[in-house]
Amino acid sequence: MASDPDTGGSRGPHIVVAGAGAVGCFSGGLLAAAGRRVTLLGRPAVLTPINAQGALRLTDYTGLDLVVAADNLALSDDPVCLGAADLVLVTVKSGATAGIASEIARHAPAHAPVVSLQNGVDNRAMLADALPGRDVRAGMVPFNVIPKAPAHFHRATSGDIRIGAGPGGLSAWLSAPHLKVGQTPDIDAVQWGKLLVNLANALNALSGLTLHEQLLNRDWRRLMADQMAEALTVLRAQGLRAVSTTPLPVWTTPHILRLPTPVFRRLAASMLTIDATARTSMAYDLMARRKTEIDALQGRIVAMGAAAGVATPIAAAVLAAMRDAEAEEGPRRPRAPQDLRR
């Protein structure tokens, strides 16, 4: 049975961010700025600039501009650092979950809770299978963080993190100024709601547009709406419930996306704040020629649809287009909405 994390005195538990990329550096940096003990475990390509510049810069759409001295963080590319963890935040891409799970099992103490702040709905189960008897929880990060420059990460959309309910007051230890974390007993439904939103990640990556530009284009919004409606049909067929990441019920989102642009613009402004330069993390992965999380998103919907006997032509077309885009050499060709309909 897992125990509560060692709170380590007034500074709280030692938090190791396993797989510190954009979300991990942003969240870990805010926690460190609030006085928490934080280690960023990540790739040298991410951590070396922080060391070289002596600081991590965090900005966001509200005007936040915070510089966190590198001396206030521990930086490591060696999973051995997990041995000092009282709490582990997993922020690797979904495809790297099995690998980081084995490193946590090898190095992290059994008392340290593990919280997945990843896209997709299967990561908690993968972690729990590799970490029997430990407190392993799912989480949902609604906002999008983009790399602005080496050692500079920018939060481009709004929202508060939610994690699965449990003992130990984890949400309090993970909350800080500019970073609100809440607990919910309904985290599975919350994650399905986020997956529905994340289906738009691939559309943004394939379009070559910013999110702001794309959302003001009614043809793209109609495709987003039809894709989400298709996925909702799959979830209903599987008996799964989704909770919206916005104040309105999840089933209303396709209807809102189909509204005329002036009406949509007014309504969307009350639900979500998006920086004019924001793009999805999948867009940055595609630009950097990194493997995307398409299999955990559209790939998951296609597989579930096949199992339930529900056709998923849009998800299948987007999945195929993304795989083609990942394989392209040279400049990538932006796709149009009609390219992604079958």
Kindly state whether residue 334 falls inside one of the protein's structural domains. yes
CB atoms within 10 A of CB 192: 20
Query: What pLDDT score was predicted for residue 300?
Result: 97
**Residue-number span of the structural domain to which 175 is assigned:** 9-184
39 and 107 co-located in one domain: yes
Domain co-membership, 253 together with 167: no
Beta strands in the chain (DSSP E): 14-18, 37-41, 55-60, 65-69, 74-76, 87-90, 114-116, 136-140, 145-149, 152-155, 161-164, 181-184
Are 313 and 229 contained in the same domain? yes
Examine the fold and report which residue of 184, 205, 222 is the final residue of a domain before the chain moves on. Answer: 184
Residue 72 domain flag: yes
**pLDDT bracket for residue 6 (50, 70, 90):** low
The β-bridge relationship of strands 161-164 and 136-140 is antiparallel
Question: Which pLDDT score is estimated for 248?
Answer: 83
pLDDT tens column, 50-100? 999 999 999 999 999 999 999 999 999 999 999 999 999 999 999 999 999
Query: pTM to 2 decimals?
Result: 0.92
pLDDT tens, residue by residue, 168-215? 899 999 999 999 999 999 999 999 999 999 999 999 999 999 999 999
Query: Residues 293, 295, 298, 304: is their CA dihedral positive or negative?
Result: negative
Binned at pLDDT 50, 70 and 90, residue 8 comes out as low
**127 vs 1, higher pLDDT:** 127
CA separation for the pair 58, 10 (Å, rounded)? 24
Q: Is it the case that residue 17 has pLDDT exceeding 70?
A: yes
CATH of the domain at 150: 3.40.50.720
Among 184, 203, 231, which residue terminates a domain?
184
Select from 184, 206, 232 the last residue of a domain. Answer: 184
Encode 261-290: b = buried (16+ Cβ within 10 Å), e = exposed.
eeebeeebeeebbbbeebbbbbbbbbeeee
Look at the chain and report how many structural domains it folds into: 2
Query: What's the CATH code of the domain at 226?
Result: 1.10.1040.10
Average pLDDT over residues 150-156: 96
Whether the predicted pLDDT of 7 surpasses 80:
no
- Average pLDDT (30-55) is 98
Q: Could you read off the pLDDT of 222-243 as tens digits, one per residue?
A: 999 999 999 999 999 999 999 9
Assigned domain for 66 exists: yes
Of 114 and 1, the one with more pLDDT: 114
- 38 in the same domain as 173: yes
Q: Which two tokens stand for residue 81?
A: 């650092």
- Mean pLDDT for the stretch of residues 11-20: 94
Instruction: Give the three-state DSSP class for 237.
Output: helix
Tens-digit pLDDT profile for residues 243-296: 998 888 999 999 999 999 999 998 888 777 888 888 999 999 999 999 999 999
- 40 domain-assigned: yes
Three-class secondary structure of residue 138 per DSSP: strand
